[in-house]
Amino acid sequence: RLLELADELDRARSPEGTAAHVTPRRRGERPLLLVADDERDAREVLSQVLEPEYEVASAADGQEALDLARAEHPDVVLLDIAMPRLDGFEVLERLRHDPATADIPVIFVSGRGDDAVKVRSLDLGAVDYLQKPFSERELRARVERTLRLVRSQTALRELAQTDALTGLANLRAFRARVDEEVKRARRYRTPLTCVMADMDNLKPINDALGHAAGDRAIAAVAAVIREELRETDFGARYGGDEFVILLPHTTGEEGHVFAERVCTRLHETVLEVSGERVPLGASFGVACLPEEDGDDGGADALVRAADAALYVAKRAGRGRVALAAAEPRASASAG
């Protein structure tokens, strides 16, 4: 659990991470707004207006606002301009230069109304500018508009990183994630295992029942894989009928157990297409990142090792799991 907490903290603060992979602080709860203003009365007014619909945190100066944004990753920041320690412009610039906070939307809330200030705010990356005094209705409308924009952008980003057929991540998302996970495993000296999976006998399904049936078989295999993933695991469609899985905090032997479990479940799963029973199956290659941070090629070498192990499993008779640098062992499903 301590390693998982460290991992979450690293996701939020590491400059090597990407905002796209920051884990949401809460799921299924009200959006979190961060209100930053050096005037106590102003903070209290904003909080009273927003708290019926949102969770609200507050900061009394720019540095406190920056620290809270990095720690809590709020859904929206409402930022005053004139504040001690760091003014609003400085806070916004630092948020934008940190990949972990670069995508947090900022609305400036200030008594200054000259065009030069508004233009500079927008040039720095603020999504909106609200001038004091303002009505409660206007404040709520600006916040809700910003949240809708964020939801739309998040949906588009997820769509761009998701394979349409399987619902797993696509190859582009995997390439970004594997580099991130390798760096994290090196930093904390924790194991990281990669599993490559390739469906067995997809061509006969396509030849006998058509490519639509083959697509259903691919989607069914992906569904079994997805059901076996933990929250910290990452599964992607590597291409065609190949899949790749990242298992953080998992040794090669533990990854072998995972692959055996998926292999067995696939063997026990039968897909029905147009009255025909279509058996499912796959072969698996498992590789663990070397413990020493040497000249091993990092992410590319890890994937190559898993792919080489997959080739060994295929040559050994399919429906099997092979661990890199070890002889393949027949899975329970292979009999």
The residues annotated with a catalytic role in the active site are 241
CA distance 264 to 221: 12
Which amino acid is it at 94? Answer: R
Residues in the chain, total:
335
3-class SS string, the chain: CHHHHHHHHHHHHCCCCCHHHCCCCCCCCCCEEEEECCCHHHHHHHHHHHCCCCEEEEECCHHHHHHHHHHHCCCEEEECCCCCCCCHHHHHHHHHHCCCCCCCCEEEEECCCCHHHHHHHHHHCCCEEEECCCCHHHHHHHHHHHHHHHHHHHHHHHHHCECCCCCCECHHHHHHHHHHHHHHHHHHCCCEEEEEEEECCHHHHHHHHCHHHHHHHHHHHHHHHHHHCCCCCEEEEEECCEEEEEEECCCHHHHHHHHHHHHHHHHHCEEEECCEEEECCEEEEEEECCCCCCCCCHHHHHHHHHHHHHHHHHHCCCCEEEECCCCCEECHHHC
Nearest to 322 by CA among 261, 266, 260: 260
- Scanning the structure block, which residue is given the tokens 């997820």? 158
